[in-house]
C-alpha cells in the first residue's frame, strides 16, 4: 500500500502536469501581464508611499518581492482611487496578488514559457526596450538641443498643403445608382465645356447634409467630409481640373480643384512640444540601437544556415 505522503505527492504531481497542459496559454498571459506591469513600473516616475523601503515585503521560493515594487503597486491603486492611503485588508490582498503573480512567473519560467511562448517573449523584449528607452528619455533636453534637432529634422514638422475645392454631390436617393452616375458625368462634362460650376451644380446636383467648408482646407478635413476616395482624387488634381465622378458613402462627387496652397514647416514656437517629443523618441531609438549593438558585440552568434549567411 502506498503511504499517504507518497500518494499525495503523486496526486499533486499529476495535477501540476495536467494544469501545465491545460493552462499553458494562461500562464503565458500571466507572465506577459506581469512583465508588462514591471515595464510600466520601470518607466513610471514620481514618489511612491514608503512600504518596506528597498527591502523585501515577502519572499516566494527565495525570490524577493521588493518594498519598492509593492509601494509602486499601492501608490498606483491609491492614485486611481483618489485616496491618500489604503486600508490593511486591501494592501494584504494586493500583496497576495503579487505573490500569486510571482508563483505563476516562476512556474512559467520553469516550464520554458519565457523562451518558447511568443507572448511571454514579446513581453520580456518590450519590458527591456521600455527600460532602455526610459533611461535615455529621462534627461530633459536643452533649448539648444531642441532647436538643433528642429533645424536638422524639419521634414518631421512640415505642415501639409491645403486645397480649395468646388464640389458637387449627386445622390441616388429617389432614383437608381445609374441615374445618379449619369447626372454626375453630365456635371463634369458641362463644367469642362466652360459652364459655371455652381450653376451646373444647382441644376443637377443635390444639397449635402454637411457641406464642405469654404476656403483652403487640409487634406484631413476634406477626407472627413468627402471620404478617402474623394480626398485622394482631389489631392491628385491639377489646378482648374475637374474629376471624374467619385463614389462615396453619400453618392457621387464631382470635384474641381480651385487652388493648391503648398505645405510649409511650422514655426518652432508653435510645435515646441512636438519637437521635444520627437527629440526624446529619437534619442531613445539611438540609445536602444547602441545597446543592441553592444549586446551583439559581446555575444557568440553563429548563423548555421548557409543560405542565410552562414559559412
CATH number of the structural domain spanning residue 193? 3.10.50.40
Residues 112, 59 share a domain: yes
Residues 123, 23 share a domain: yes
Residue (of 197, 193, 135, 137) closest to 166 by Cα position = 197
pTM confidence score: 0.50
Q: Helix and strand tally (H, E) in the chain?
A: 12, 8
pLDDT digits (tens, 9 = 90+) for 91-129: 999 999 999 998 988 888 888 888 888 888 888 888 888
Residues 165, 133 share a domain: no
Percent over 90 (pLDDT), the chain = 48
Would you tell me how many other CB atoms lie within 10 Å of the CB of residue 254? 28
Residues 281, 242 share a domain: no
Residue 51 confidence class, pLDDT cut points 50, 70, 90: very low
Residues 124, 224 share a domain: no
Residue 170, Cβ density class (10 Å: 0-12 exposed, 13-18 middle, ≥19 buried): buried
Confidence check: pLDDT of 265 > 80: yes
Overall number of domains in the chain: 3
Q: Please give the grid coordinates belonging to residue 285.
A: 531609438
Residues 197, 94 share a domain: no
115 occurs within a structural domain: yes
235 occurs within a structural domain: yes
Residues 188, 98 share a domain: no
**In 30-188, at which residue ranges do the beta strands (DSSP E only) sit?**
56-60, 63-66, 158-159, 162-170
Q: Cell numbers 450653376 label which residue?
A: 199
Residue 12, Cβ density class (10 Å: 0-12 exposed, 13-18 middle, ≥19 buried): exposed
Q: Are 51 and 74 in contact (CB under 8 A)?
A: yes
Q: What's the whole-number mean pLDDT along residues 213-222? A: 92
Residue 56, domain extent = 4-137
Residues 119, 29 share a domain: yes
Residues 288, 170 share a domain: no
Residues 28, 120 share a domain: yes
In the prediction, which pLDDT does 186 show?
Answer: 96
In the prediction, which pLDDT does 185 show?
Answer: 96
142 occurs within a structural domain: no
Residues 235, 278 share a domain: no
117 occurs within a structural domain: yes
In the prediction, which pLDDT does 96 show?
Answer: 92
Q: Are 201 and 264 in contact (CB under 8 A)?
A: no
Amino acid at each position: 500500500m502506498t503511504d499517504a505522503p507518497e500518494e499525495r505527492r503523486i496526486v499533486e504531481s499529476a495535477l501540476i502536469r495536467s494544469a501545465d497542459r491545460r493552462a499553458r496559454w494562461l500562464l503565458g498571459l500571466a507572465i506577459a501581464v506581469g512583465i508588462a506591469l514591471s515595464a510600466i513600473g520601470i518607466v513610471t516616475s514620481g514618489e511612491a508611499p514608503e512600504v518596506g523601503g528597498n527591502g523585501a515585503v515577502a519572499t516566494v521560493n527565495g525570490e524577493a518581492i521588493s518594498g519598492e515594487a509593492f509601494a509602486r503597486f499601492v501608490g498606483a491603486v491609491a492614485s486611481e482611487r483618489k485616496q491618500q492611503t489604503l486600508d490593511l485588508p486591501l494592501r494584504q490582498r494586493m500583496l497576495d496578488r503579487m505573490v500569486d503573480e510571482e508563483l505563476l512567473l516562476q512556474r512559467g519560467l520553469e516550464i520554458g514559457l519565457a523562451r518558447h511562448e511568443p507572448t511571454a517573449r514579446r513581453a520580456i523584449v518590450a519590458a527591456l526596450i521600455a527600460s532602455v528607452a526610459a533611461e535615455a528619455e529621462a534627461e530633459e533636453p536643452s533649448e539648444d538641443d531642441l532647436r538643433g534637432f528642429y533645424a536638422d529634422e524639419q521634414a518631421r514638422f512640415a505642415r501639409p498643403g491645403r486645397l480649395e475645392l468646388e464640389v458637387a454631390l449627386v445622390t441616388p436617393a429617389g432614383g437608381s445608382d445609374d441615374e445618379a452616375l449619369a447626372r454626375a458625368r453630365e456635371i463634369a462634362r458641362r463644367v469642362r465645356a466652360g459652364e459655371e460650376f455652381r450653376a451646373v451644380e444647382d441644376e443637377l446636383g443635390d444639397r449635402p447634409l454637411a457641406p464642405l467648408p469654404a476656403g483652403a482646407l487640409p487634406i484631413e478635413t476634406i477626407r472627413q467630409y468627402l471620404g478617402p476616395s474623394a480626398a485622394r482624387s482631389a489631392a491628385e488634381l491639377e489646378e482648374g481640373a475637374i474629376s471624374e465622378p467619385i463614389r462615396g458613402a453619400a453618392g457621387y462627387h464631382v470635384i474641381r480643384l480651385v487652388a493648391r496652397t503648398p505645405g510649409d514647416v511650422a514655426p518652432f514656437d508653435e510645435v515646441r512640444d512636438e519637437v521635444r517629443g520627437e527629440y526624446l523618441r529619437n534619442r531613445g531609438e539611438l540609445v536602444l540601437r547602441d545597446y543592441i549593438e553592444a549586446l551583439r558585440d559581446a555575444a557568440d552568434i553563429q548563423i548555421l544556415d548557409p543560405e542565410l549567411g552562414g559559412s
